[in-house]
């Protein structure tokens, strides 16, 4: 297949925007991405809109603000992985030769309060209190502590690291540092996950403009970043066997590495889905950044901090940047694009040329490898 490139990104600040509509936020991100790409909206051939709880055909409502050009609009809901799913579909559309220039936007205005695994009101999951999302990651954390002696301090250390990274990200919701004591001493939500080990739920939007190889060749590569490979794997372990694990991330990563022609050792920077602190520790293992069971020691060694062997979540991750469900995957991709362009300022990973995003939605893993 032909190649696909990200030539523009746009992000709103992730945070509370009580006075702005979701259409307004998304339009800001789309316009910013077009300006960053140096392309006019009228040249965009298709619009992919990623969102979770924003009502039907929210993408069409966004187009009304940006410019009703008559292009096809696709709305994509895939829980927290909606935006990275949309980017994958968009990249396949240009790689197949069907499209030359497309735009993707993920957006969400969030409800306050805890993340939920939303079920119908009358479902047994609601009645038994099983929709509380941190519960799933708390179970993984307990098992990881039991099997591999992972410590509370190692898990809390993920929040400390990512909050420190976000000091230098003006789009992040939380930009103040936390100590290990702050994280461990915050309110217990689902043992052993405390409040500051849960990602906040801001409003926000993130967009990208993606073009084909021939489009990039005509206008010059410039600051383009290639979408080298991607993968989408949905879970069997939980759906068939009630087992909460991130095995889907391991199997997805294996396929993506093969298609990208690289191994985890060739990555310079990673954005991974730290919806809860333990998720980053397990994902580091599943992505092959360390052996199974050693995600805790990897964090403790400082290897995943800025300046370390393989910086993870230089943006601050979901834990600090925030987790506006439909926008999250594109928030990750925008960070990697910024890093690979060398435009990340004080949070720049020096010399980064290959980066990976690992995004999860309920029961699915989406991974992208980007490179320059």
Name the residues that contact other proteins, by CB under 8 A: 114, 116, 121-122, 124, 126-132, 135, 138-143, 146, 187-193, 239-244
Supply the minimum distance, in Å, between the C-beta of residue 183 and other proteins: 16
Q: Closer CB to other proteins, residue 191 or residue 258?
A: 191
CB 110 within 8 A of CB 203: yes
Task: Compare residues 212 and 277 and give the one whose CB is closer to other proteins.
Answer: 277
Q: Whole-number minimum distance, CB 361 to other proteins, in Å?
A: 18
Beta carbon nearer to other proteins, 56 or 240: 240
Q: Which CB, 93 or 133, lies closer to other proteins?
A: 133
Q: Which is nearer to other proteins, 55 or 242 (CB)?
A: 242
Query: How far is the C-alpha of 223 from the C-alpha of 204, rounded, in Å?
Result: 24
Measured distance CA(225)–CA(369) in Å, rounded: 10
Distances (CA, A) of 174 to 196, 219, 324: 11, 38, 13
Q: Are 336 and 269 in contact (CB under 8 A)?
A: yes
Do 368 and 355 form a contact (C-beta atoms < 8 A)? no
CA pair distance 312, 148, nearest whole angstrom? 21
Q: Which is nearer to other proteins, 296 or 331 (CB)?
A: 296
> What is each CA distance from 191 to 139, 158, 198, 249, 278, in whole angstroms?
9, 16, 12, 24, 12
Radius of gyration of the chain (CA): 19
Q: How far is the CB of 239 from other proteins (least distance, A)?
A: 8
Q: Which residue has the tokens 């945070």?
A: 15
Give min distance, CB of 167 to other proteins, in A.
Answer: 28
Buried b (16+ CB within 10 A) or exposed e, 5-27: bbbbbbbbbbbbbeeeebbbbbb
> In the complex with other proteins, which residue's Cβ is closer, 2 or 236?
236
Q: How far is the CB of 173 from other proteins (least distance, A)?
A: 20
Report the residue number, 131 or 151, with the smaller CB distance to other proteins: 131
CB of 335 to other proteins, least distance (A): 30
> What is the spatial distance between Cα 161 and Cα 304, in angstroms, rounded to a whole number?
8
CB of residue 145 vs other proteins: minimum separation in angstroms?
A: 8
CB of 241 to other proteins, least distance (A): 6
SS3 219: helix
């Amino acid at each position: 297949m032909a190649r696909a490139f990200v030539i523009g990104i746009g992000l709103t600040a992730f945070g509370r925007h009580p006075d702005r509509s979701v259409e307004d936020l998304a339009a800001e991100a789309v316009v910013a991405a077009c300006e960053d790409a140096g392309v006019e909206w009228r040249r965009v051939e298709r619009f992919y809109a990623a969102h979770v709880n924003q009502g039907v055909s929210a993408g069409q409502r966004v187009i009304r603000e940006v410019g009703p050009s008559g292009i096809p609009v696709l709305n994509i809901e895939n829980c927290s992985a909606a935006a990275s799913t949309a980017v994958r579909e968009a990249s396949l559309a240009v790689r197949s030769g069907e499209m030359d220039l497309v735009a993707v936007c993920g957006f969400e205005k969030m409800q306050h309060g805890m993340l939920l695994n939303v079920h119908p009101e009358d479902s047994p999951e609601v009645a038994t209190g099983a929709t509380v999302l941190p519960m799933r990651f708390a179970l993984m954390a307990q098992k990881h502590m039991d099997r591999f002696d992972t410590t509370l301090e190692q898990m809390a250390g993920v929040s400390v690291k990512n909050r420190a990274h976000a000091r230098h990200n003006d789009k992040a919701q939380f930009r103040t540092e936390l100590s290990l004591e702050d994280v461990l001493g915050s309110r217990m939500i689902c043992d052993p996950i405390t409040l500051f080990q849960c990602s906040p739920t801001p409003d926000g939007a993130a967009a990208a403009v993606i073009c084909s190889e021939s489009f990039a060749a005509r206008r010059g590569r410039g600051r383009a970043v290639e979408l080298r490979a991607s993968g989408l794997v949905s879970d069997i372990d939980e759906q068939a066997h009630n087992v909460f694990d991130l095995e889907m991330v391991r199997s997805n990563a294996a396929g993506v590495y093969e298609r990208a022609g690289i191994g985890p050792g060739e990555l310079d920077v990673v954005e991974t889905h730290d919806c809860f602190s333990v998720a980053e520790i397990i994902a580091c293992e599943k992505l092959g950044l360390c052996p199974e069971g050693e995600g805790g020691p990897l964090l403790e060694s400082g290897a995943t901090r800025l300046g370390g062997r393989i910086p993870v979540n230089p943006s601050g991750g979901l834990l600090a940047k925030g987790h506006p469900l439909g926008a999250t995957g594109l928030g990750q991709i925008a960070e990697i694009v910024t890093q690979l362009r060398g435009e990340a300022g004080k949070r720049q990973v020096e010399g980064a040329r290959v980066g990976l995003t690992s995004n999860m939605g309920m029961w699915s893993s989406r991974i992208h490898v980007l490179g320059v």
